[in-house]
Amino acid sequence: MKFSLISPTFDRPEEVREFIASAAALRYDRGDFEVILADGTPQDGLRATVEAASRSAGLPVIFLQEDYLPVSDARNLAARHAQGDYLIFLDSDCLLPEDYLQHLSDGLVAEGWDAFGGPDAAPEEFSALQKAISFSMTSFWTTGGIRGGTTRTATYYPRGFNMGMKRSVFESVGGYDVHFKTGEDVDLSIRIQQAGFRVGLIPMAVVWHKRRSTLPQFFKQVRRFGAARWALAQRHPGQLKVTHLFPVFLTLGTLFSILLGAISGVPLPIVFIGYFLVPAVLAGAQYRSPRIGFLAVASTVAMMSGYAFGFLEALLGGGLHKKRG
C-alpha cells in the first residue's frame, strides 16, 4: 500500500462525514490507500457517524478511539496502525479534491521528497467568510507564503493540515512530540529538516480547508498559532524571525495609534489603514466579490490580533508549551 491518510478527530460529525466522502471520491486505486481516523470524542460518540459514513461512501475506514485523545497522540497512534509507505497527515476540516493523491504521486516521482506538503485553498462552494479566512491565511500579503502558497520562502515547513512523509522518516525522528500542545506539526517538520531529509512543496497537491465558521472561532484558533510560535522558538533556537513578529508589531502599533488618536486627536497613520485595506482589494479581486473583500479585512484583523495576543500571552506567561504529567 502506498498512502495512509491519517486525521485526528474530536466530535464534529458533519465535518468527518464530509472528509470521508471526499476520500471516497478520490480518483486513485482503492487498494493503494487507506483512511485512518484517531478519535478523542468521549464515550465513543463519533463511532456511529464514522461507520455510517464509511458504509454510505463505500470506503473502509480504520477508526481508533480513546477518550480525550490529544492531537499528537492521535497521529502517533494512527501511524502505528498504518500500512502505507507514506503517511499523509490531514486535518478533519479538510476536503480532498478528487485528484489529490494523483498529484502527490506525480510530485514524488518528479522530486523524490522524503517529506512534503501541499497548499490549502477555498473552492467556489465555500461560504464568503470561509473564502475570506482562506485569503487571510494563504495570501503572500498576510502570511508571506509560509503555508505553502509560494516557493519564495527560504525554508518550507509542511504543516499538519496537509503534510506527508515516508514512514521510515517518521519513525527515524520519533514522530510527533506529545509535549507540544500546539505547533507540533512545525516542530516535526523542523526535526525532519535538521535530520538531513529532503523536504519540499508539491504545489498541485491542494486541499480544501474549511477552518472555523465564525470570526471569534478563527481568532481563538490563530491565538494558538501565536503561542506555538514562541514555543517553537524556545525549542529550536534561531527559528524566531523578524517576520514572525510582524503581527505583534502591527497589532500593537495599530492599538497605540488608536489610543493616541483618541487622546490627542491625531488621525490613525495611513500605514495601518493601508495595510488592512489592501486585503479588501486583493481578496475582492481574487474572488470577484466586494463582500468577500470586506470580510477579508475583518478576517485579517482577527488573524493578526489573535496571533499577536497568543504570542504575547505565551511570552509573558509561559504559554501553551507545557509538559504533561
Domain with CATH 3.90.550.10 in the chain: 3-213
pLDDT on residue 324: 38
- Contact in structure between 45 and 11 (CB atoms under 8 Å): yes
**What sign for the dihedral angle of Cα 304, 310, 315, 321?**
negative
What is residue 239's predicted lDDT score, i.e. its pLDDT?
Answer: 86
Residue in the structure block whose three cell numbers are 509535549: 179
Question: What Å distances lie between residue 73 and 12, 68, 186, CA to CA?
Answer: 19, 10, 16
Report pLDDT for 146: 57
Strand order from edge to edge, sheet including 207-209? 94-95, 207-209, 120-121
* pLDDT tens sequence for the chain (325 residues): 899 999 999 999 999 999 999 999 999 999 999 999 999 999 999 999 999 999 999 999 999 999 999 999 999 999 999 999 999 999 999 999 999 999 999 999 999 999 999 999 998 999 999 999 999 999 989 987 655 455 544 578 999 999 999 999 999 999 999 988 788 999 999 999 999 999 999 999 999 998 877 999 999 999 999 999 999 999 999 888 888 899 999 999 888 888 887 787 776 677 788 899 999 999 999 999 999 999 999 999 999 999 999 999 999 985 544 443 3
- Cα–Cα distances (Å) from 75 to 8, 82, 300, in that order, read 6, 10, 30
Q: What is the C-alpha to C-alpha distance for residues 123 and 111, in angstroms, rounded to an integer?
A: 27
pLDDT at 317: 83
- Alpha-carbon distance of 193 to 191, in angstroms, equals 5
Q: What is the reported pLDDT for 325? A: 34
pLDDT of residue 230: 92
| Cα–Cα distance, 233 to 303 (Å, whole number) | 20
Q: What one-letter code names the amino acid at 146?
A: I
For 164, the 3-state DSSP assignment is strand
Sheet holding 86-90, edge to edge: 61-65, 33-39, 3-9, 86-90, 162-166, 115-117, 199-201
Q: What are the backbone dihedrals phi and psi of residue 89, each rounded to the nearest 5 degrees, phi first?
A: -100, 130
Cell of 190: 523542523
pTM for the predicted model, two decimal places: 0.89
Is the separation of the CB atoms in 19 and 94 below 8 Å? yes
Burial degree of 247 (CB within 10 A; 0-12, 13-18, 19+): buried
**pLDDT value of residue 320:** 47
At the topology level, CATH places domain 3-213 in Spore Coat Polysaccharide Biosynthesis Protein SpsA; Chain A (3.90.550)
pLDDT for position 164: 98
In the chain, the N- to C-terminal Cα span, in Å, equals 37
> Tell me, what's the pLDDT at 145?
62
248 close to 264: Cβ distance less than 8 angstroms: no
3-class DSSP state for residue 93?
A: coil
**Location of C-alpha cell 470521508:** 20
Q: With residue 103 as reference, give the H or E element that holds it.
A: helix 100-111
Confirm if 104 and 205 have CB atoms less than 8 A apart.
Answer: yes
Residues 16 and 36: their CA atoms lie apart, in Å, by 12
E strand segments, 21-161: 33-39, 61-65, 86-90, 94-95, 115-117, 120-121
User: Do residues 75 and 38 lie in contact, with contact meaning Cβ atoms separated by under 8 Å?
Assistant: yes
Q: What is the pLDDT of residue 306?
A: 96
